Amino acid sequence: MKTVINTPEGAVIAEAEEPVPARDEALVAVRAFSVNRGELALLKTRTGGWRPGQDVAGVVVEAAADGSGPAPGTRVVALVEQAGWAEQVAIPTGRLAVVPDEVGLEQAAALPLAGLTALRTLREGGDLLGRRVLITGANGGVGRFQVELAALGGATVTAVARQAGELIALGAHDVVADPGAAAGPYHLIVESVGGASLAAALGKVAPGGTIMLIGASSGEKTPIDIYDFIGHEGARIVSHLSYAHPEPPAVGLEVLVGLVAAGRLHPTLGLVEDWSKLQDVLAALRDRRVSGKVVLTL
């Protein structure tokens, strides 16, 4: 079968042996996969024949031998550990969910890592009904899901981004270009930029509120000390590392595809291309020429 293999010269589509599923794994023919920004960093460092890919959607061709999971012919979406950018992948049934007929596989492929990160971080922030929420990096794949999910949860959402129109349509109450310009205080701040953005967030969190750290796209460190919490007493900073979450991905994926099927969650597909255009797509993502999710089809 064909798969993407990372080499010192870059990611290439090459031949590899077909996967052999374990008893609790379904064999899935991949029809679409999405590229996450974090995978760009991994492509720089894992050059020794590493096979990338986490977000996949496709069709079951062989059910799990232990009887768990869906039957052959079922459309599914999954979050895998790696090697998802391939014609076939063996997936533990606890990591996949059935895709309803109302949801396209390109839409489904955009959900796993970004959608689960958005869903889990908002849940970790507590009850959102009537709360004020600030989301930095709101125009990215995770940020757009967070805006819409927070609004669905009853929060008043302020998004930090340069462009407002689409985020307002997704449920943001207002959009600011810089977190320092946000009105505050906020019960929950989801922070993905770091550096000056995180420093500004510290000045906007309500006493007893939560700053959820999910990234540091600026590459900058943020110096903090106890005195930054004067006026924000009891506020806490919580880290979220997606690989360490204890819940099986299937649980959240079922929620996400259900919301999409009901027309309540709208994945933003910023770019959809055949996987033969992989190099062009990776370049567009590196250069930040795409808003929303990047999806490649097979």
Q: Residue 144 has what pLDDT? A: 94
pLDDT band at 242 (very low <50, low <70, confident <90, very high): confident
Q: What is the pLDDT of residues 185-226, one digit of tens each?
A: 999 999 999 999 999 999 999 999 999 999 898 889 999 999
Q: What pLDDT score does 173 carry?
A: 96
pLDDT tens-digit series, residues 2-60: 999 999 888 999 999 999 999 999 999 999 999 998 898 888 889 888 999 999 999 99
- Are 95 and 208 part of one and the same domain? no
pLDDT tens, 62-87? 999 999 999 999 999 999 999 999 99
Domain of residue 152, CATH code: 3.40.50.720
Strands (E), 80-153: 88-92, 96-98, 132-135
Question: What is residue 165's predicted lDDT score, i.e. its pLDDT?
Answer: 80
One domain, residues 23 and 144: no
In a domain, 291, yes or no: yes
What local confidence, expressed as pLDDT, does residue 40 receive?
87
Whether residues 118 and 238 share a domain: the answer is yes
pLDDT of residue 47: 83
For CA atoms 126, 201, 144, 187, the dihedral sign is positive
Strands 293-297 and 269-274: parallel
Question: Residue 273 — pLDDT band, cuts 50, 70, 90?
Answer: very high
Give the end of a domain, one of 228, 243, 258: 243
Does 115 score more than 90 pLDDT? yes
| pLDDT at residue 37, as a whole number | 86
Which range (21-30, 237-246, 252-261) has the least confidence? 237-246
Both 120 and 90 in one domain: the answer is no
- Does 141 lie in the same domain as 103? no
The residue range of the domain holding 188 is 114-243
Residue 216 resides in a domain: yes
Is 139 in the same domain as 91?
no
- In tens, the pLDDT along 147-183 reads 999 999 999 999 999 888 889 999 999 999 999 999 9
| Residue 104 sits in the same domain as residue 18 | yes
User: In this structure, are 101 and 136 located in the same domain?
Assistant: no
pLDDT of residue 143 exceeding 90, the answer is: yes
Q: CB within 8 A of 242, min separation 6: which ones?
A: 113, 116, 117, 120
- What is the rounded distance in angstroms from the CA atom of residue 145 to the CA atom of residue 167? 10
In a domain, 254, yes or no: no
Would 203 be classed as within a structural domain?
Answer: yes
* The length of the chain, given as a count of residues: 298
Average pLDDT over residues 251-278: 96
Residues 120 and 235 in one domain: yes
Are 35 and 145 within one domain?
Answer: no
On whether both 125 and 90 belong to a single domain, the answer is no
- CATH number, residue 8: 3.90.180.10
Q: In this structure, is residue 104 part of a structural domain?
A: yes
Characterize the bridge pairing of strands 2-7 and 186-191: unpaired
3-state secondary structure of 3: strand
pLDDT category, 291, cuts 50, 70, 90?
A: confident
Best CA proximity match to 74, nearest among 64, 84, 61? 61
The pLDDT score that the predictor gives to residue 28 is 98
Query: Is 86 part of a structural domain of the chain?
Result: yes
At position 163, the amino acid (one-letter code) is: Q
pLDDT value, residue 135: 97
Domain assignment of residue 156, yes or no:
yes
The count of structural domains within the chain is 2
Query: 256 in a domain, yes or no?
Result: no
| One domain for residues 226 and 133 | yes
